[in-house]
Amino acid sequence: MASARFLDPSSIPLKRPSGGNIWATLVHVTQGLTLVALLSILMLFFLPVIQKTHRLQEEKALLAREISARQDEQQQLLIETELMKNNPAYVEHIARDKLNMGKPGETILRFDAYQPAPANTKSSDPTTTGDGSSN
């Protein structure tokens, strides 16, 4: 009976040709793979927490920069308020520049902001004239 020999446990080699025990090697490999699997599962559980922490740190840095900018703006406004209260020349300067006010008898001239002319689309070659013919 050939099938009886196939199912016989004594016919299974327990040692590798090099002399090592195959079952001991398989146990070590299985333990290593189990450890890797457990670490991967732990990483999957903590990955959202790590990402949320990183996102919150970025948001905290952004808010800190915004707070700093607002504090600078507040400092400038305090300086301007003190100048408005204590410096009549500054008040006159603001009235003339921003409110377009003047002293009695003065004529106020207002100029629009400078706007550059549009670029010329014609050729800048001196040998051609404006009508497209050459000299």
Six token digits for residue 66: 């915004």
> Residues 93-117: pLDDT tens digits?
888 888 878 888 888 777 788 888 8
Residues of the chain short of pLDDT 70, as ranges, are: 1-20, 121-135
CB 135 within 8 A of CB 127: yes
> Is this model's pTM higher than 0.85 or not?
no
